[in-house]
Each structure stands twice: as C-alpha cells, then as structure tokens.
C-alpha cells in the first residue's frame, strides 16, 4: 500500500485535473457554438492528453530526481513529488512508468489518426504536444533548464489542449478559443513562475537555468505581476472584441485573488519571510478558478 501511495504521489493527480479542466473548456466552447458533442472522441482525446501528461510528469521526475532530493523548500506543488529516492520508489520506476504511458499514448494516437474526420490542424497539435512533453525534460534539449520550458508548457496546456479538444468536436478553429485561452496562458505562466520561487536557491546552486534563474528574482516578481494584470486586461479586451460579457464576468470577478498573488510577491520583494505553500497555492488556485469559471460558463449557456 505504501508503494501504491508513492506511485499516486509520483503521478501528481492534482496537475492531471488541470488537463481535464482545460480539455473540458475546449469541448465547452464547441458545445456553446452549437456543435454536437461526440462523446467517444471526447474520452479518446482526454485519454490521449492524460497519458501524455503522465508520461511528461514521470520523465520530469526521473531527470530532476538528483536535484529534487537536495531541495529543502519542497511544497505540495513544487520541488518534485518526493516519491523517488532512498526512502521512496527507485528512480527507474519513473522511467518505466513513462515508457508505459508513452506506449498507451502511441496506441491512442493510432486510434485518433484512424478517424477520417481528423483535420491537419489537429494532427499538428498532436505532434507539437507530443514533442513538447518529451523535450521539456529529456536531454539534450531539456527545455526545463533553458528558461523556455515555462512558456512552452503554458502554451501547450492553456492554448493547445483546449484547441485540440475543440478541433476533435468541430474540425476547425474559432476566434472564441483565443479569447478564452490567451488570458489563461498568462495566468499559467505566472503560476509556473510562482512554483519556481521555492526552488530558486537550489536551482541557482545546482545550475538549473529555469526562467526564474535566468531573469533573477527581482525581475521575475515584476513579470509575475504584469502577467496577472495582463490576463485580466486581455480578458476585458476579449469582451470588447466579441467574447460575451456573461461568459467573461465570473472570471473577471476573481481579480481580488489575482491581487492577492501580486501582494504576496510584493511582500517577498520587500524582504518579508515567504510562505511558499501559500504562494504556490494562490498561484494554482488563480489559474484553476479562472479556467473552471470559463469552462462552467461555456457549458451552461
């Protein structure tokens, strides 16, 4: 039972729920536009996203394990799962699990490609998503150590996953996708920056050049705050350019949560003792709540 629990920790189920949420957003937009939902394609596409996400997480755990074991500021959301190491599962477990998930993803890919209605745009997104999930962690590219992995991941999760879900239902893109997902991309990138703050000292010492390390924490604080404000500004502009106000309003009401994240960052910049768990929790809550409210609005209208 202990090994089962460690495997669950290794799988980071909370992050998997994020993939479920943004996939539902894409399908919700298709439903809002009057497209009939193909539930078979829905569950097949969601399975593809989840198994690929799992493979990416396992690979990240495997290649980050030597550094994660030295991290003294681990939170429930950062610093690795803590499931690998001398007191946990063998490191090779993550590699074996990743290989298994990639095999399932490959099988699901064959099933998806066998669908005559699959558009070239959908196939392109699948290629980009698969490449991004692998290259984020696997040498020699290993985007997570270049400062570009955060932007790549945010684009994949907040833009391409909803677009993939939408295309499976409709076959062609729509401007509502960009209006709903670009604010989420900014919030996701802000969340990833917040996640890197607890690991900053360890990453700096071990030479892991994340976006935070490359920028320096002072500039990263400014960028984080601008990303949050930019997300709400982008959402407001989307209303001006055609996003229904009743779709955007629930998400706009979460602005106080965004201001809380900005306040926490400013306190850190001013030298206050950081509460890493609160900072990362606010970051994930901000992205998740806005994504949920957008999804709920599209599904219920």
Highest mean pLDDT among 133-147, 202-216, 285-299: 285-299
The predicted-structure confidence for 56-102, as pLDDT tens digits, reads as follows 999 999 998 888 888 777 787 887 888 888 788 999 999 999 999 99
Ordered alpha helix ranges (H), 33-160: 39-68, 91-113, 120-135, 149-155
Mean pLDDT of the chain: 93
C-alpha angle with apex 80: 75 to 86, nearest 5 degrees? 110
pLDDT reading at 190 higher than 70 = yes
Distances (CA, A) of 49 to 14, 82, 130, 150: 15, 24, 9, 18
- Choice between 296 and 301, residue whose per-residue pLDDT is larger: 296
- Among 279, 282, 285, residue whose Cα is nearest residue 267: 279
Dihedral, CA of residue 16, residue 20, residue 21 and residue 27, to nearest 10: 160
In whole angstroms, give the CA distance from residue 111 to residue 72.
44
Residue 116's pLDDT band, with cuts at 50, 70 and 90, is: low
In whole angstroms, give the CA distance from residue 85 to residue 91.
7
In this prediction the pTM is 0.94
pLDDT reading at 178 higher than 70 = yes
- Among 27, 1, 28, 4, residue whose Cα is nearest residue 298: 28
Q: Tell me the mean pLDDT in the region 5-21.
A: 92
CB 301 within 8 A of CB 273: no
Tell whether the torsion through CA atoms of 153, 155, 156 and 158 is positive or negative: positive
User: Which pLDDT belongs to residue 278?
Assistant: 94
Residue 296 belongs to what H/E stretch?
helix 276-300
């Amino acid at each position: 039972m202990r090994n089962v629990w460690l495997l669950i920790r290794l799988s980071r189920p909370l992050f998997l729920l994020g993939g479920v949420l943004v996939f539902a957003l894409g399908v919700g937009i298709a439903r809002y536009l009057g497209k009939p939902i193909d539930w078979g394609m829905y569950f097949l596409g969601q399975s593809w996203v989840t198994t690929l996400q799992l493979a990416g997480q396992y690979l990240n755990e495997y290649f980050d394990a030597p550094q994660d074991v030295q991290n003294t500021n681990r939170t429930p959301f950062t610093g690795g799962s803590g499931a690998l190491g001398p007191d946990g599962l063998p490191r090779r477990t993550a590699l074996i699990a990743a290989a298994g998930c990639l095999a399932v993803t490959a099988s699901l890919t064959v099933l998806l490609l066998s669908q005559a209605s699959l558009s070239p745009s959908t196939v392109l997104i699948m290629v980009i998503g698969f490449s991004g999930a692998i290259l984020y962690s696997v040498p020699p590219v290993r985007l997570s150590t270049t400062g570009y992995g955060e932007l790549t991941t945010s684009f994949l999760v907040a833009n391409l996953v909803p677009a993939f879900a939408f295309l499976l239902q409709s076959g062609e893109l729509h401007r509502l996708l960009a209006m709903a997902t670009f604010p989420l991309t900014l919030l996701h990138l802000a969340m990833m920056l917040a996640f890197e703050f607890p690991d900053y000292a360890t990453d700096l010492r071990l030479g892991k050049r994340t976006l935070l390390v490359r920028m320096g924490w002072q500039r990263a604080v400014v960028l984080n705050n601008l990303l949050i404000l930019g997300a709400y500004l982008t959402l407001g502009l989307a209303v001006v350019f055609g996003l229904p106000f009743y779709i955007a309003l629930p998400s706009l009401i979460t602005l106080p949560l965004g201001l809380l994240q900005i306040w926490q960052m400013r306190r850190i910049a001013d030298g206050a003792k950081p509460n890493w768990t609160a900072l990362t929790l606010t970051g994930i809550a901000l992205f998740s709540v806005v994504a949920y409210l957008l999804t709920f609005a599209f599904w219920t209208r």
